[in-house]
Structure 1
Amino acid sequence: MTNASPRAPRTVVPIESTLLIAEAFDQARATELRHSVTSCAHAAGLAGQRLDDFVLAVNELITNAVRHGGGQGWLRLWRQAGELVCEVADHGSGISSRQLDDRSRPAPDTAGGWGLWLARELSDTMEVETGEAGTTVRISAALASAEHVGPHRADQPRSGPVSRRGR
């Protein structure tokens, strides 16, 4: 099946989650899909720099799937237990363990190699499953809890920056 749409990934969205987007994509749909992710992420509670960072991370994953993963992919976005999760899957030949293990920032004059590094840096968590049948990358961003929304009161602790796992 050479011209078939990409299969949906095998990962199951948890039942207590709210699925926001589940779409196949190729280069022609990348911009429209990025706008959909932006709208859904904003509606889910991301705003400002957190929103911009998450959307840029997702965009990097979409771009990687198109460039390195066979020209097309599958994106799912869902909200669960205080976080927004995005998963991008492709059917490329996988990512080498050397590349996955390299967590150093690419040199400023490097034309490529920024996608996974940026996705890791701009999200709270990042998980990668890769092999000869393709790659699935899942990132997440914590959503502000209801108790921290609104003006800060002196008797409440401020919520600090969210720690980033996977660096």
Structure 2
Amino acid sequence: MSALPANVVVDTSFMAAALDESAPEHEAAAVFLARLTQARTTIFFNDLVDLEMHDVAFALAARGPSAGGSGVDGTVGVLARSMLARWRAVLAHAEAVHVDVALTIDDLQYYMGQFGLSAQQAAHVGTSFLSQAQRILTVDVDFGRVDERTLRIYTPERLVRATRARRPCRAA
């Protein structure tokens, strides 16, 4: 078993997979998150993850099998609050450290242009530099576009090949 990192940035795709039992990568993400938490790995997250977890929670709740009733007081609201409570529990039990996403704004254009990332992805790369983690937990294979010397990616084994396929070719 390989050594666990001392610190890592988490993106929304990973947290959603770890907390949503119906997600294809749930088991791998949940097990790895539990190992990191137990090892006291510092997990950095930014405002985007916190904000997007609300979107994830309400989207999952709305498509749930018993999502009758809508709004914050209906079943959707109850299911969404349950998912958000799981997210908050991760923050409470892990060595979680918030990084202000505004601190990444000046570098977004660089990461977007250099690696072909969305603004959200670029903010997570920026968070990895601000935190000095230079590692990310994700199930988003597009992070593979970032040069491996710049960002180490932790992703479920099933996604490794697809992630590596997006890596830029290095000149020999």
Higher strand share: 1
**TM-score (structure 2 length as normaliser):** 0.29
Higher helix share: 2
**TM-score (structure 1 length as normaliser):** 0.29
